[in-house]
Amino acid sequence: MPVSPRKPRPRLKKAAYHHGSLESALLAIGTELIDAEGPGALTLKRVAERAGVTASAVQHPFKDKESMLAAIAAGAFRELEAELKGAARQAEGAEACLRALLGAYVRFACHRPLRFQFMFEARFLDGERHPASANASLDCYDLLRRAVADYTGQPVRLGALTAWSLVHGLSAILTSSRIPPGEQVPDSLDEVVAIVFDLLVHGLGNHGG
């Protein structure tokens, strides 16, 4: 009985990307992996497979995993910056603007907890190692600094640092589920933000006045 020749295995169809679009697609895939599983889940091979390209194609825009992670961190800060600006545009008055910025910061963190924890890793804030992500983080801080200055109407020593310490600390606690036992924390994130930031803005107002 004649043996039928084996059929050749179908080759995986490689995705076609225009110039510049591959990098954006890879960053989007990498960001999705971090959001779902954390940065440890990201490998260049895994990103390439999801994008439908070869591993060598990934190394054109990104020489290694670290460069991709740094680009994702920079993109995360730019996304945070855009959300802060959007919140500020919708607010009327200095106090409302400051509250909106602080609330947007916490919501960004709570909606993307793994990415939020990842983007603030020390190496991505190092201007010598990763200037793009470091500069993007400083642009976010500058928005908060200006909002504090507008609210107080005059320089307040360590005012912006105080505001950032509170908003970032609260975000870190909420995203890591490290709320101390016995704390009666409301279920509503909006209510948590309102209570905590009442303390901040009233304190800044007293120092500014």
pLDDT of residue 13: 44
**In this predicted model, what pLDDT tens digit does every residue of 120-168 receive, in sequence order?**
999 999 999 999 999 999 999 999 999 999 988 877 778 889 899 999 9
137: enclosing H helix or E strand: helix 131-152
Q: How far apart are CA 97 and CA 208, in angstroms?
A: 16
pLDDT per position as a tens digit, 19-57: 458 999 999 999 999 999 999 999 999 999 999 999 889
Helix, strand, coil percent content, the chain, rounded in steps of 5: 70, 0, 30
User: What top-level class would CATH report for the domain 15-63?
Assistant: mainly alpha
Range(s) within the chain of domains with CATH label 1.10.357.10 = 72-208
CATH topology of domain 72-208: Tetracycline Repressor; domain 2 (1.10.357)
Q: What is the pTM of this model?
A: 0.84
Tokens of 1: 């009985």
Which helix (H) or strand (E) element contains residue 104? helix 94-111
Listed in order, the ranges of the chain carrying CATH 1.10.10 are: 15-63
CB atoms within 10 A of CB 84: 22
What is the model's pLDDT at position 183? 78
- Assign 177 to helix, strand or coil: coil
Residues in the chain, total: 209
